[in-house]
Structure 1
Amino acid sequence: MKTVVVYCHPYEGSYCHALLESLLKGASKSGEEVDFIDLYKDNFNPVMSGRDLLGFVKHQSVDEQAIDYEERLKKADRLVLIFPIWWELMPAMMKGFIDKVIFPGSTYKYTKSGLGMISLLPNLQSTTVITTMNTPKLMYKFKFGNAVKKALLLGSFKKSGFKNVKWVSLNMVKMSSKGKRQKWLDKVGNILA
């Protein structure tokens, strides 16, 4: 199995980084092949330019880094994204990754009617999104509308034909005990096992 891991956090001392290290350690133990993308270390440009939007209309990516990421996704059996939720949404860097990499003509195409989408990632068998936030789970769901689930999992991944989409939402991280954080690290460490 080959997994692409997309990581989006600027600070190596973060809990997101600890989750990443646990995931990679678990993958190494199980012999999982990992292709690691660190959006910040790659200096990924998340901004959609006029050229990018024209490429979107023509169904042809123009950003060289996005094209590289698309090619790497085409070889993957699994995709894992790790990022924090800031102000109830994903960071701009991760949103830019979705905008520029989940792209018509590269990772999906439209059905003949134009009402549906078909994945162009035939090897991709599952997608797991791992997030951290300080908002309580019920408050995120009912007061803030579960934005990540609606926009990313349903509105981007499932809509464009991704299979077996799962979300590991770790809530109230700053208020959690050391024991709870360790349980989360162990859980994430077993995702690729």
Structure 2
Amino acid sequence: MMKKIVVVYCHPYNQSFNHAVLEQVLTNLHHQNMTPELIDLYAEQFTPVYDAEELRLFHQGKTHDPLVTKYLDMLRNADGIIFITPVWWNDLPGMLKGFIDKVMKEGEGLSHTVTKTGVHGELTNLKHAYVFTTSTSPTFYLRMWCGNAIRKIFIKVTLKQLGIKSGTWLNFGSISTSKPEKRQTYLKKCGEMTLDFS
């Protein structure tokens, strides 16, 4: 049976380098006989704001955003997850943070369960997460001087709390000054690397 992989794409411009990464990753998944299911947050006009009405409905186990229900159902029926996003101000963009806030908060008992000892993740069906990012800063700068937020917080804490036990971070740093040859080499890697969700 072919594995279903949810790809969460977070960039507003379809001519960006992030979009080129997306195309390579989708092609790669097809070549490895996996079925990608795309969540394009900007194209689908996802609203990342957790408003007062959403909070009121949360206590009834409901939501007024149909995309929240759709996305959570996709996650609960997938085998793995891939995030493709820029790094803005040394961290995830607000759009992607809003995705985590709304979809995962709405999933109380589905994406996670709050216990006396902390948050227990329910999305254990997602065997592995890949996080592809781009940044203006060099990768070593993000790791050593900016808190290493993608690896230390997003992968090792947030995703782990949701039940995703392992994750891999790949960043293309210094994007603004990178040469075309370096970009092409990275895209080739994204299109050919083994994506393991076992």
Q: TM-score, normalised by structure 2?
A: 0.87
- Whether the aligned pair in 1 keeps the contact of 2:112 and 2:161 (CA below 8 Å) is no
The corresponding residue for 2:183 is 181
Could you tell me the percent identity over the aligned residues? 36
What is the Cα-based RMSD across aligned positions, in Å? 1.9
- Give the whole-Å Cα distance in 2 for the aligned partners of 1:9 and 1:109: 30
**Following TM superposition, by how much is the alpha carbon of 1:61 offset from its aligned partner in structure 2, in angstroms?**
4.6
**Following TM superposition, by how much is the alpha carbon of 1:177 offset from its aligned partner in structure 2, in angstroms?**
2.3
| 1:11 and 2:9 correspond | no
Q: 1:137 aligns with which of 133, 136, 139?
A: 139
The corresponding residue for 2:110 is 106
- Partner AA of 1:46 in structure 2: P
1:136-182 C-alpha deviation (Å, 9 max, x unpaired): 12221232212223332233111232122221122112222222212
- Give the whole-Å Cα distance in 2 for the aligned partners of 1:31 and 1:102: 28
| 1:32 and 2:41 correspond | no
Q: Which runs of 4+ in 1 moved over 6 A?
A: none
- Give the whole-Å Cα distance in 2 for the aligned partners of 1:181 and 1:47: 34
- Give the whole-Å Cα distance in 2 for the aligned partners of 1:59 and 1:161: 24
The corresponding residue for 1:53 is 55
- Give the whole-Å Cα distance in 2 for the aligned partners of 1:53 and 1:82: 28
- Give the whole-Å Cα distance in 1 for the aligned partners of 2:149 and 2:119: 21
| 1:87 and 2:96 correspond | no
Q: Structure 1: 5+ residue runs without aligned partners?
A: none
- Partner AA of 1:90 in structure 2: L
Q: Structure 2: 5+ residue runs without aligned partners?
A: none
- Give the whole-Å Cα distance in 2 for the aligned partners of 1:12 and 1:118: 36
- Partner AA of 2:174 in structure 1: M
Q: 1:171 aligns with which of 153, 167, 173?
A: 173
**Following TM superposition, by how much is the alpha carbon of 1:16 offset from its aligned partner in structure 2, in angstroms?**
0.2
Which structure has the higher relative contact order (CA within 8 Å, separation 6+)?
1
- Partner AA of 2:103 in structure 1: V
